[in-house]
Copies of this chain bind each other. A is one copy, B any other.
Amino acid sequence: MSKDRLIFVTNDDSYASKGFAAAIEVARRFGRVIAIAPEYPQSGMSQAITIYNPLYLRTVRDEEDVKVYALSGTPVDCVKFAFDHLLADLKIDLTISGVNHGSNAAVNVLYSGTMGAAIESSFYHIPSVGLSVLDHSADADFDVAVEYGTRIVEAVLENDLPRPLCLNVNFPILPKEEIRGIRICRQTRGYWHEDFYQREDPHGRRYYWLTGAFDNHEPEAEDTDEWALAHGYVSVVPVQVDMTCYEQLSPLKKVL
């Protein structure tokens, strides 16, 4: 396996997260690493871009084979800034986004800053892999993510898969020996139902805080990412970005 490659790493939990270090660890097995991650946590930032504010860049780590920058923007800003500016003259072999603290399976792919960055990276014709563990905690264990993430990144690098290529990879919370393998899946159908936590702030103003639960509309469907994760598999969903609902074109043509 060649170690001459150049791997770009980003995430949404900021340059300081444990998962980001895990992603760099995976990337280092394949070559040099350049990483740009958000200065501040950006979970749930989806494919957001910063329009109204300037962005500041800061060097966090500057070694021969690992360079890490923090950018005061969103995950997608990091990708755009990398491929259209800072690294515009370099050939990047692959992007790893993550490792995210928390699931990006099912409809979470739409809210996720980690997947926003992975999707954006695939627009530059760079194979992109978003990695997420189902554990939200800051000190989540990344052993499974590093081992299986390495295997998946290697498969992408060693095979000439069709592009754009963007993979949404999620890891269940299980010790390594209990993982049953990797499953290629489709995105599960289902949505979140939110519950707004209500309190008063110290100034007597009422505030609300988003919290909720995912409602899986097809828990028995064995080809979905949620099923795979619930049954001890690492889930891999290939992601595309044509949002057109083709089945609705013809009923709409009849009424408009």
Is A216 in contact with chain B by the CB < 8 A criterion?
A: no
Are A43's CB and B52's CB within 8 A?
yes
Is A159 in contact with chain B by the CB < 8 A criterion?
A: yes
Cα(A155)–Cα(B255), bound, Å: 6
Nearest chain-B residue to A77 (Cβ)? B210
Contact residues of A: prevailing secondary structure: mixed
Cα(A238)–Cα(B243), bound, Å: 8
Contacts of A209 in B (CB 8 A): 54-55
Interface residue from B48, B161, B162, B165 paired with A45 (Cβ < 8 Å): B48
Are B54's CB and A116's CB within 8 A?
no
Q: Map CB proximity to B onto A72-89 as digits: 1 under 8 Å, 0 otherwise.
A: 000011001100110000
Cα(A151)–Cα(B50), bound, Å: 34
Are B49's CB and A47's CB within 8 A?
no
Is A139 in contact with chain B by the CB < 8 A criterion?
A: no
Nearest chain-B residue to A73 (Cβ)? B210
Contacts of A49 in B (CB 8 A): 44, 46, 111, 210
Are A47's CB and B111's CB within 8 A?
yes
Instruction: List 10 additional contacts besides A84-B212, A237-B244, A240-B244; criterion CB under 8 Å.
Output: A47-B47, A48-B48, A54-B199, A54-B201, A84-B193, A85-B208, A124-B191, A182-B256, A186-B244, A238-B244
Q: Which residues of A contact B (CB under 8 A)?
A: 41, 43-52, 54-57, 76-77, 80-81, 84-85, 107, 109-111, 113, 116, 119, 123-124, 151-152, 155, 158-159, 161-162, 165-168, 182, 184, 186-187, 189, 191-196, 199, 201, 205-210, 212, 236-249, 251-253, 255-256
